[in-house]
């Protein structure tokens, strides 16, 4: 098994979409790190501000407490529900088996007056109550309507009688895919999220995290390249921040704005821009950080190779491309050529381009 590279934190302004849920997320602040997201569907809408503070507990075998910042909201019809997540703890940082647990109260409130009070219980010494969740659903006049119990990793049930002898299953997780323990414990849904499928090529904005070269290298098992590229991206982000500070410029997110209550709210425009494909390819302080290499990929629809630009392309290379647009950022190849100059293309990319030239002439 390859050693995992260090975590790749999102760049300021980095985005991620999932069209199945009408979901868009953007990193809106780097210090402190804050992500904002929004999703919508038929009769419902979801939005959330997500950040965290850290705190260490203990000396000999400490735990790391992750304290969530920001609230989550969901609108179903005319009713809005809101909640704040409890703290999460990473246990046994030095010795023993590491594990994650969520601990503390969580209250879900409704604009209609209903409330659900949940308690995420701390695991016992022998793990007898690990991941246990219990709570009550209350009416607007604070009377208990029903009770809920279960675990957050196996399922939750509702009591159908006062004794709790009859239960109704409210939720169970889908089974994990085979070999999930070898893939960071990803679910069948999670494992698909980093995949740049053909229907997304040339559609998602240049800020989408699936275009990160360090993430792509990690997906392909090129761990050393992933670490190197991650360092380059982080150094570039620090340089852009210094340039903004020297110029007196303030970073402004593209798709979210902060309200008077401190929560970040979606200001619209993402899905409309997605239809036109007219993304802004420039981030404050320069071009978007991972438009710096030439990549070659295969079109899953036409089964033909295509080029992905580095915002510079050799004039001799462009005619062999099957698409007239960059496969990732939708920039016209003719618009990004630099006449009479050769771009600084990595050796591995040149080899791929030569292979591409042969393939397209077959």
Side-chain-facing half-sphere of 284: CA atoms under 13 Å: 19
Where is the domain boundary, 278, 310, 331? 278
pLDDT for 117-129, tens place per residue? 999 999 876 656 7
Q: How far is CA 254 from CA 25, 29, 69, 154, in A?
A: 11, 12, 21, 38
Structural domain total, the chain: 2
pLDDT for 217-274, tens place per residue? 887 778 888 888 888 888 888 888 898 899 998 889 999 999 998 899 999 999 999 9
Residues 54 and 153 in one domain: yes
Residues 361 and 272 in one domain: no
Task: Tell me the CATH number at 262.
Answer: 2.40.160.120
Mean pLDDT of 70-80: 95
Whether residue 283 is contained in a domain is answered as: no
Pick the range with the lowest mean pLDDT from 17-21, 80-84, 196-200, 355-359: 355-359
Residues 320 and 236 in one domain: no
Residues 262 and 297 in one domain: no
Residues 256 and 298 in one domain: no
Whether residue 320 is contained in a domain is answered as: yes
Whether residue 286 is contained in a domain is answered as: no
- Residue 72's pLDDT band, with cuts at 50, 70 and 90, is very high
- Residue 198's pLDDT band, with cuts at 50, 70 and 90, is confident
Residues 251 and 340 in one domain: no
Whether residue 285 is contained in a domain is answered as: no
Residues 235 and 304 in one domain: no
Pick the range with the lowest mean pLDDT from 32-36, 122-126, 301-305: 301-305
pLDDT of residue 299: 33
pLDDT of residue 136: 95
Mean pLDDT of 130-141: 94
Whether residue 239 is contained in a domain is answered as: yes
Single pTM value for the model: 0.76
Residues 18 and 115 in one domain: yes
Whether residue 247 is contained in a domain is answered as: yes
pLDDT of residue 298: 35
DSSP 120-165: EPPP-TTSTTTTEEEEEEE-TTS-EEEEEEEETTTEEEEESSTTS-
Whether residue 297 is contained in a domain is answered as: yes
Where is the domain boundary, 227, 250, 278? 278
- Which residue segment(s) compose the domain that 345 sits in? 293-362
């Amino acid at each position: 098994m390859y050693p995992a590279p260090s975590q790749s934190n999102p760049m300021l302004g980095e985005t991620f979409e999932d069209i199945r849920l009408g979901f868009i997320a953007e990193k809106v602040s780097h210090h402190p790190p804050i992500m904002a997201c929004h999703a919508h569907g038929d009769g419902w809408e979801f939005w959330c501000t997500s950040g965290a503070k850290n705190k260490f507990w203990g000396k000999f075998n400490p735990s790391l407490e992750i304290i969530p910042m920001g609230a989550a909201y969901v609108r179903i019809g005319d009713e809005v529900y809101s909640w704040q997540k409890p703290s999460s703890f990473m246990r046994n940082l030095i010795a023993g088996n590491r594990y994650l647990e969520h601990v503390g109260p969580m209250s879900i409130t409704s604009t209609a007056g209903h409330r659900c009070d949940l308690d995420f219980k701390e695991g016992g010494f022998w793990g007898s109550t690990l991941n246990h969740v219990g709570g009550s659903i209350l009416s607007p006049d604070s009377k208990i309507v029903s009770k809920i119990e279960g675990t957050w990793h196996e399922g939750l049930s509702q009591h159908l009688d006062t004794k709790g002898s009859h239960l109704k299953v409210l939720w169970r997780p889908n089974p994990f895919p085979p070999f999930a323990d070898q893939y960071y414990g990803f679910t069948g849904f999670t494992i698909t999220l980093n995949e740049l499928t053909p229907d997304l090529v040339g559609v998602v904005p240049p800020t989408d995290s699936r275009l990160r070269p360090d993430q792509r290298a990690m997906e392909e098992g090129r761990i050393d390249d992933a670490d190197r590229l991650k360092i380059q991206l982080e150094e570039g982000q620090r340089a852009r921040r210094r340039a903004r500070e020297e110029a007196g410029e303030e970073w402004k997110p593209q798709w979210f704005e902060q309200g008077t209550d401190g929560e970040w709210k979606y200001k619209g425009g993402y899905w409309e821009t997605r239809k036109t494909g007219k993304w802004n390819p420039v981030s404050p302080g320069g071009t978007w950080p991972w438009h710096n290499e030439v990549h070659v990929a295969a079109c899953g629809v036409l089964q033909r190779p295509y080029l992905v630009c580095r915002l510079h392309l050799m004039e001799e290379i462009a005619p062999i491309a099957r698409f007239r647009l960059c496969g990732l950022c939708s920039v016209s190849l003719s618009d990004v050529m630099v006449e009479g100059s050769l771009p600084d293309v990595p050796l591995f990319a040149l080899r791929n381009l030569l292979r591409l030239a042969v393939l397209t002439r077959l």
